[in-house]
Every structure is written in structure tokens, then in C-alpha cells.
Amino acid sequence: MEDQTALERLDERINQILQKCENLKDENELLRNELVTVKAEREIKDAEVEKLMEENSKKDLEIDEIVNKIESILG
């Protein structure tokens, strides 16, 4: 009788472990999907930052040209 109780406890523990394993697999899949999304968002933001930096550089050149024109006019 005692062996059956131990066997039932073992069966219960195995089922718990299997359920936890399934839960972890599901969580892992969700995290993988989230990681893919975050990487894609980062690439978009990196491209936007690069574009803004290029625009900023162009504006700096325009400012330099305006300053040079003002200096040449003022002598």
C-alpha cells in the first residue's frame, strides 16, 4: 500500500514538472517573439536617428554657409 502512495506522489511530481516545462516553453516562445519585435523596433529607430543626424549635419553646413556669407558681406 505504501508503494502505491509513493508511486502516486512520483506521478504527481512528474506531472508538475511536465506542466512547468510546458509553461517555460510557452514563456520562452513569447520572449523570443518579443525579442524579434524589439530588434525590429530598434532597427527602425536606429535608421531614424541616422537620418536625423544626417539632417543635422546638413543644417550645420547651411549655418556655416550663412555665417560665411554674413562675414563676407560685413567685411
What distance in Å separates the CA atoms of residue 60 and residue 50, rounded to the nearest whole number?
Answer: 15
pLDDT of 1:
53
Tens digit of pLDDT for each residue in 21-62? 999 999 999 999 999 999 999 999 999 999 999 999 999 999
pLDDT of 2:
63
pLDDT of 50:
98
Question: How far apart, in Å, are the Cα atoms of 15 and each of 10, 11, 12, 20, 27?
Answer: 9, 6, 5, 9, 18
- Confidence category of residue 3, pLDDT binned at 50, 70, 90: confident
